Structure 1
Amino acid sequence: MQTNLTVIVLTHNEELNIEECLRSLVPLKCRIVVVDSGSTDKTLEIVQNHKVEIYNHEFNNYGDQRNWAQQNTGIETDWVLHIDADERLNKVLCENIINVLMDNSNSEIDGYLISRRTIFMGKFIRYGGHYPVYHNRMFRIAKGMCETRLYDQHFIVDGIVEKLSGDIIDVTDDLDDWFNRHMKWAEMEAEQILGKNKKNKLVESKLGGTSIERRRWMKNNLYYKMPLFLRCLIYFGYRYFVRLGVLDGYKGLIFHFLHGFWYRFKVDTCILKKKLNWV
């Protein structure tokens, strides 16, 4: 019996990740929709070996692509779950998703916050404020949508949201792939910061709100108010020493340096380049 859930997976040249992603979804016994944006590697060849439905749509930004997938792939289930191709669900999360779908007593709940667990070069990144970090990923399709920001977009759920036990596992084993993604995202975030992608329906920025709203408030009202380049150094120090990222070992040092300093430095470089009209 198929569960009352549709899973949406976005792909573009994900041959290294998509197999494990799709395998992790098998226990859910649900409809799986893959929306591809012109993959030129073996992604689609791998996907075709699984019981999924494949759609093709030109990529503009993540928010638009996710919303297009919700609105144009014939979803008839009440619930939708969004995951990325480099992510997979752990066993506990699958079991709890099935339980809430079968439990008729949760009719007032419209969405679930799910924690993301980062595995970097085989190492679980536990510290540095990186776990647990919760995201709206599963919700009633009539109640949720994605922000149309260029970067750091979140799903917005109009209703009651609760936390769900279990993790979405984000795996990074290929550093070249990691760098390629973050180079692209740095450009997107720089454009977002400079106000070139201001659209409505954004997650509120509230210090006293949800964990997502607090993070947005801290980013907008603290981090972005600090000087370029200095802020990424301060952030890395805060994350690595104050939030105990040092306890993640040498692989954790690589991760926190790249994610907490190098990436933020790259964003600031892109901002300066755009402000000064550098080629």
Structure 2
Amino acid sequence: MNKNKPSLTALVLTYNEEMHLKRCLESLKDICEDIVIIDSFSNDETENIAKEFGARFYQNPFVNHAVQLNWGIENGEINTDWVIRVDADEYISDELTSSIKNELPTLKEDITGVRVKRLMYFFNKPLKKSGMYPIWHLKLWRHGKALCEKRWMDERMKLSDGETTTLEGDLIDNNLNNLTWWTQKHNSYATREAIDILDKIYNFTNSDVVNANLFGTAEERRRWFKKKYLNLPLFVRPIIFWFIRYIIQGGFLEGKRGFIWNALQCGWYRFLVDAKIYEAYIVAGKDKDKLIMYFKDTYGYDITKIG
């Protein structure tokens, strides 16, 4: 055990992350006793980079992020007091590094979860308007005290018991891939989010998720607003969402980057999710069993199961 580091394991999911992984692991090596990589059978240099940093490397077939995270928690042979979830295209700011080193070991036993701020980059510069910052996420937890909620998209860590606190500093999300990659990824995300939304209507999975509460945690507030959003008509809600993000929350203040981000993320992506729901209704109607068969036949997803 390294006494200069907190008793902390980083859990990192990867698939062909040679572009980002070294940067991620560089930011973790001074605060983590252990780093566990859960890989989805990469065919690039991901494994070699992980082993260069002394990370323990596991492989497991990818279903979705929730399944992969919980597999890592259960099979990663974690032996530290704390765990931190970090995506391969994320890295820890200097301020957050200092907060983790100095404050994590001093937290009281009833604190079982820690929220930190995520700072999103777009075209290699931070996005701080459009409601993008600060967004607080539960990213650290005492080992054995949290699992990832079972959702196709927008999954969050959920504590079994205890209280949460916050640490200052940013978890920086700065993906370096181009827009073609981004749109292809979000096309896949849109399918999974359409399934997630339909699950709320048809109860395909009986999943236990974070509560929606206007007066609760940051995650609970976001879920409350999302529930209100989903009650709006298809194709109307993306327009309202774009208006709120770009105009009311000041996305226009970030110039061309803000315009592009809001057009793609808050407009095109949200519209695509609705279009995929509409397409499912056109093909399968609003019959639960037919919708289940539609997503299985069309996308290969068994939407009655998440894990």
Band of TM-score, shorter chain: over 0.9
Give the TM-score taking structure 2 as reference length. Answer: 0.86
Alpha-carbon distance change, 38 to 199 in structure 1, aligned in 2, over 3 angstroms: farther
Distance 1:43 1:191 in 2: 30
1:126 aligns with 2:133: no
Q: Answer whether contact 1:149 1:197 (CA < 8 A) is retained.
A: no
Q: Indicate the residue corresponding to 1:23 in structure 2.
A: 26
SS state at 1:106 partner: coil
1:212 aligns with 2:219: yes
Shift of 1:185: 0.8
Alpha-carbon distance change, 50 to 197 in structure 1, aligned in 2, over 3 angstroms: farther
Shift of 1:127: 0.6
Q: Indicate the residue corresponding to 2:244 in structure 1.
A: 238
Q: Answer whether contact 2:95 2:168 (CA < 8 A) is retained.
A: yes
1:124 maps to amino acid? P
Q: Indicate the residue corresponding to 1:108 in structure 2.
A: 110
Indicate the larger mover: 189-198 or 8-17.
189-198
User: RMSD of the TM alignment (CA)?
Assistant: 1.5
Q: Answer whether contact 1:114 1:165 (CA < 8 A) is retained.
A: yes
Q: Indicate the residue corresponding to 2:101 in structure 1.
A: 98
Q: Answer whether contact 1:61 1:148 (CA < 8 A) is retained.
A: no
Percentage of matched positions with identical amino acids: 36
1:66 aligns with 2:86: no
**Pairing partner for 2:52 from 42, 45, 49:** 49
1:179 aligns with 2:183: yes
Q: Indicate the residue corresponding to 2:210 in structure 1.
A: 203
**Pairing partner for 2:267 from 246, 261, 267:** 261
SS state at 1:84 partner: coil
Shift of 1:45: 2.7
Distance 1:166 1:277 in 2: 47
Shift of 1:161: 0.4
Give the TM-score taking structure 1 as reference length. Answer: 0.95
Deviations 1:90-137 (CA, angstroms, capped at 9, x unpaired): 11111111112332x522211111110011112210011110000101
Distance 2:34 2:204 in 1: 33
Shift of 1:66: 0.5
Q: Answer whether contact 1:112 1:164 (CA < 8 A) is retained.
A: yes
For structure 2, the 5+ residue unaligned runs are 285-297, 299-307
Distance 1:106 1:233 in 2: 45
Q: Answer whether contact 1:186 1:270 (CA < 8 A) is retained.
A: yes
SS state at 1:156 partner: strand
SS state at 2:25 partner: helix
Q: Indicate the residue corresponding to 1:226 in structure 2.
A: 232
SS state at 1:252 partner: helix
